[in-house]
Amino acid sequence: MYYIGIMSGTSLDGIDLVLASFSPQPKLICSQLHPFPADLKQQLQQLCQCGDNEIELLGPTEQQLAYCYAEGVAALLAKAGIAASSVAVIGCHGQTIRHRPDSRYPFTMQIGDMHKLAMLCQIPVIADFRRKDMAYGGQGAPLVPAFHQAIFQKPSQQRAIVNIGGIANVTVLASNAQVTGFDTGPGNALLDNWIMLCHARPYDDNGWFSSQGQLLPELLSQLLADPYFFKPPPKSTGREYFNLQWLQQFQPEHYTAEDVQRTLCRLTAQSIADSLSKYKVEQLYVCGGGVHNPVLMQDLALLMPDCSVNQTNTLGVDADWVEAMAFAWLAWAYQHQVTGNLPEVTGASKACVLGVPYLP
């Protein structure tokens, strides 16, 4: 049987969909990037920040998102030439609009009407993966380390996997040690926000904007002084924290725009490298949208001279589709009653089977 994974991340650059199988090993069959309509993307961005009439906006946005997910599924199945009846289940992450794991009453919220998605696709959906981990005292994130362990770990090698989406997260797969993982801080989110503000472009294509600037060491030091970077794991964050409002406190208008972009690029790389400095990592494999920014990839290689830096493609999984594959795998794990969280990563008191079923 086939499994579909749907991931729309903090970068809001579109919906990643994969068709995969997991017998006997994970195999990517087909992939599809489905864009957000401009109005839906704007609504999602608005919901990621506190504002007026949030419930009135949330209701219709959830419905639109379900239709958009379903359109992506239809396009994926048509591309693969596979009937919906051949798909066992869809694993859908939903769209995170708020993640507050450290508040007095910790919560996380991923939206999208999953009943509507199951009905539209006529395929069962597994969703709501994060909240059970949080119910047992975990951060609810990151969840991909269990998948990284399942497909990337090699006992004889000291590996780390870093996913650079809107937020960056790492998984340390060290031999003779338990797996660990956490959000390191901003990935592409600040880079995307700044270039949108300065040039009305949704992202820094091929590192164009970053490559024009000069590093600002003083600004970088100020950015890296944020308390989040000094917190020990388990820890997780989101674009509700690392965003333009966060950046404005450092008065970026006092510098040239391209120098700020170059410095934000180094911030992402430096925070990843710093977070891995206490682990004996020999191989770093990168996935997510950050692999397409050559300035960012060069920074990682520069800051980690004793470590080989490559894309996950060299391990047989396309860097663009690792995270969507992870949610297809979590749906498979739910069906087979395999635990999907790692308590040593999230801080939960127990390993849990994650997800909630929605039937057509």
DSSP H or E segment with residue 329: helix 322-335
Q: Domain check: are 170 and 190 in the same one?
A: yes
Residue 186: give its domain's CATH number. Answer: 3.30.420.40
User: Does residue 226 register a pLDDT over 90?
Assistant: yes
Q: Is 12 annotated as contributing to ligand binding?
A: yes
What is the rounded radius of gyration, in angstroms, for the C-alpha atoms of the chain? 19
Q: Average per-residue pLDDT in the chain? A: 96
Do 247 and 283 have their domain in common? Answer: yes
In this predicted structure, the answer to whether residue 9 has a pLDDT above a threshold of 90 is: no
* Identity of the residue numbered 284: L
- Could you give the number of structural domains in the chain? 2
Same domain flag for 174 and 86:
no
pLDDT digits (tens, 9 = 90+) for 123-145: 999 999 999 999 999 999 999 99
Q: Is the pLDDT of residue 23 over 90?
A: no
b vs e for 21-33, b when ≥16 Cβ sit within 10 Å of the residue's Cβ? bbeeebebebbbe
pLDDT for residue 174 is more than 90: no
Predicted TM-score (pTM) of this structure: 0.92
Residue 13 annotated as binding site:
yes
166 marked ligand binding residue: no
14 labeled part of a ligand binding site = yes
Residues 16 and 85 in one domain: yes
Identify whether residues 272 and 326 lie together within a single domain. Answer: no
pLDDT score recorded for residue 71: 98
Reported confidence tier of residue 330, pLDDT bands at 50, 70, 90: very high
The answer on whether 11 is annotated among ligand-binding residues is yes
Residue 175 phi, psi (nearest 5): -70, 145
Domain that holds residue 62: 2-139+321-358
Split at pLDDT 50, 70, 90, the class of 156 is: confident
pLDDT bucket at 11, cuts 50 / 70 / 90: confident
What digits encode the pLDDT tens for the residues 196-214?
A: 999 999 999 999 999 999 9
**One domain, residues 330 and 210:** no
The verdict on whether residue 9 carries a ligand-binding annotation is yes
